[in-house]
Amino acid sequence: MSPTDSSGKADRVYRLIRSEIELGTFSSGQSLPEALLAEHTGASRTPVREAIRRLAADGLIDLEPRKAPSVARVSLRSARALFDFRRMLEPTAIGLVARLARDNDSVRQTFAELRDRCDQFLTRDHRADQIAEEFGTLTTEFDIELAKCTPNQYLARAIAELRPQTSRLRAIAHEDRSRFTESVQEHAEMCSAVVSADADRAAAACVMHLFHVEQAIFRALVGDTDADQGAADLGL
């Protein structure tokens, strides 16, 4: 096997396992022995080991001596830290994108199309076994376009690098299926604000969206209807 073939297989295995961790197919703390992953992906041990190494570097897999790799656990503390960081980045980024949209037809068109897709999602009937995937595709595309359109390259890179972790938390937040509709409405509002080139409205909509997602995640992790109080009780 050539180095190129080996690298290509490792990349395929990496992307498959990463996607399944992000979507929650592999759950927090789940043991992922090399033999299981080799059978699951149809790959040999070598590309599986390379994929595990990359996933560990992403913070998605934990490696401990003399133990099988396992899916990194999502703790309340790490989730809160991530949201603290997102609140620093994303409202600023979408505000910059909205300002850019004043004179950039391509940016306006991108977010107008995303808004229209949000509207279609809200008015269409969904099969129960497909709604999560359709929702994930739509919101992931929003995340990608936000990073791509952000004019500050360092800010854009930081947002893009958070995507594996934000995708994982999104899956947790939307274990409550009622959040699908609310979240898509929030994404539609953010898109509309960008299309209108209203930076303040876009940033405010982003702040509100992050607040609601964080609340849903803490309800899922704490099992308490009062997510803030549940987190406070744990000293977070």
Whether residue 46 sits in one domain with residue 91: no
Whether residue 123 sits in one domain with residue 23: no
Whether residue 122 sits in one domain with residue 61: no
Question: Considering only 80-89, 104-113, 160-169, 224-233, which range has the smallest mean pLDDT?
Answer: 224-233
Whether residue 20 sits in one domain with residue 116: no
pLDDT of residue 24: 78
Q: Reply yes or no on whether the pLDDT at 224 is more than 50.
A: no
Residues 6 or more apart whose CB falls under 8 angstroms from that of 204 comprise: 91
Q: Which two structure tokens, joined as six digits, stand for 134?
A: 């359709």
The CATH number of whichever domain residue 31 belongs to comes to 1.10.10.10
Q: How large is the average pLDDT for residues 25-38?
A: 90
Q: How large is the average pLDDT for residues 61-66?
A: 91
Q: How large is the average pLDDT for residues 116-131?
A: 85
Domain that holds residue 214: 76-233
Which residues are registered as beta bridge partners of 71? 61
Whether residue 16 sits in one domain with residue 96: no
3-state secondary structure 159-204: HHHCHHHHHHHHHHHCCCCHHHHHHHHHHHHHHHHHHCCCHHHHHH
In this structure, are residues 52 and 37 in contact, taking their beta carbons and an 8 Å threshold? yes
Please write the tens of the pLDDT for every residue from 35-49.
999 999 999 989 999
Whether residue 15 sits in one domain with residue 44: yes
Whether residue 207 sits in one domain with residue 109: yes
- Give the domain-ending residue among 71, 99, 120: 71
Whether residue 164 sits in one domain with residue 143: yes
Question: Considering only 35-39, 79-83, 167-171, which range has the smallest mean pLDDT?
Answer: 167-171
- Give the domain-ending residue among 71, 87, 107: 71
- Give the domain-ending residue among 71, 99, 116: 71
Banded pLDDT at 54 (limits 50, 70, 90): very high
Whether residue 83 sits in one domain with residue 146: yes
Look over the chain and give the mean of its residue pLDDT values, rounded to a whole number: 87
Count structural domains, the chain: 2
Among residues 101, 54, 125, which one has the least CA distance to residue 201?
101
Q: How large is the average pLDDT for residues 123-142?
A: 83
Q: Reply yes or no on whether the pLDDT at 223 is more than 70.
A: no
Among residues 170, 172, 208, which one has the least CA distance to residue 189?
208
Whether residue 10 sits in one domain with residue 66: yes
Q: Reply yes or no on whether the pLDDT at 213 is more than 80.
A: yes
